[in-house]
Amino acid sequence: MEKMADVVIIGGGIVGLSIAYYLALKKAGRIVLFEKGQLGEGSTGRCVGGIRTQFSTEINIRFSLESLKTFERFEEEFGVSPEFKKIGYLFLATTEQEVGVFRENITLQRKFGIPVEFLSPGEIKSRWPYLRADDVLGGTFCPQDGYAGPNEVLSGFINGAKRAGVKIYEGTEIVGISLTKGRIHSVKTKSEEIFTLAVVNAGGPYAASIGEMAGIQIPVKPLRRQIFVTAPFHLTDYPIPLTIDFHRGWYFRQEGKGFLLSGPLDWESSFNINTEYEAMAETSENATYRVPALEKARIATGWAGLYEISPDHHAILGKVPEAEGLILANGFSGHGFQHSPAVGKVISELIVDGVAITIDISSLSIERFEKGELLLEAMTAFKE
């Protein structure tokens, strides 16, 4: 194992590997990535791969559009198909307040050239007759949204990073971060010490505990989201968008010959990734309410994963004033997979060039919490 590194990345999920890849492209020197388990076994391997541009804040839209460029040319760049399926995202509003939020969002999204449209209840029922729409007041649909394969995208970044010279260590946990006079000095595994001046915290739901090693409080907590998948079931011969019942916090999409159904979000912070019968029952209730035909479908399997939630549901990116050399890439609140290409670019720019060039990330600094400058994302991660 290397005794010295120019940059140490803690976390082998999609965010950490994207950062490693783009750092290597920028010739950032000796880059070492540590993953305490297997690459991608955390949130990345348990996410559903959603990719959308329908956000309510400019910063999230910019990250989506920049990342979309990479997903659309992913196979050409990485030699791996990302399995990107542009089935569209359909958001359903069932209250007047939600309709107002959706219309405001469209105004912002269209400023960025996003082909989003507002649909009346009649248009929704006409295009997707399998939906119960008697309580729907409207919706938004964007055809360029969809989902990709987390494992395929992860594989692309792993291979790309390795080809570019990144040293990757699986099954190796960082147990300590040392500072000297307020500056990063080294990281420690159970058996080694690696000297470095730059450490990237890409620990996903474990971001806070990694921050504590450096004496930094990072306001990120893990929340469990359960997902269930039905046995093969035919609903329609027409394309089915990823459909979000916004008020219920429920969504579904095709998954092979069956359907992927979102379960409830557990608001109690924990690292529990078990699935429970009560959650499956609630998921089934939401599914049959919005798509009555699913009453005849059978749930065949399920899993749970962890969101890494920040207080305002926006990422925490950038430097830490109290720990020079510590870089944060945390708190994605369910958007880490889809924003990972852009995150890799801006963090690599921050480290090599001293400033993020592709996207201004100053509004995502950890300092915003002390300053009371929180961002508000109306289209929260909990719908994915």
Q: How confident is the model over 142-150, as a mean pLDDT?
A: 97
Identify whether the C-beta of residue 82 lies closer than 8 Å to the C-beta of residue 153.
yes
Q: How confident is the model over 165-183, as a mean pLDDT?
A: 97
Q: What is the pLDDT of residue 381?
A: 42
Tell me if the pTM is above 0.85.
yes
Q: What is the pLDDT of residue 98?
A: 95
For the stretch 239-275, pLDDT in tens is: 999 999 999 999 999 999 999 999 999 999 999 999 9
For the stretch 2-39, pLDDT in tens is: 899 999 999 999 999 999 999 999 999 999 999 999 99
Q: Rounded to an integer, what distance in angstroms lies between the CA atom of residue 335 and that of residue 200? A: 18
Q: What is the pLDDT of residue 128?
A: 98
Q: Rounded to an integer, what distance in angstroms lies between the CA atom of residue 21 and that of residue 18? A: 5
Name all contacts of 97-104 with Cβ < 8 Å and 24+ positions apart: 98/137, 98/246, 98/247, 99/137, 99/138, 101/56, 101/378, 102/138, 102/139, 102/140, 104/56, 104/378
Q: DSSP for 283-313? A: HHHHHHHHSGGGGG--EEEEEEEEEEE-TTS
What does pLDDT average to over the chain? 96
Domain 7-49+150-220+312-383 sits in CATH at 3.50.50.60
**Res. 380 pLDDT band, cuts 50 70 90:** low
> Any idea where the domains of the chain sit in the sequence?
7-49+150-220+312-383, 86-145+222-309
CA-based nearest residue to 62, from 250, 292, 315: 315
Domain 86-145+222-309 sits in CATH at 3.30.9.10
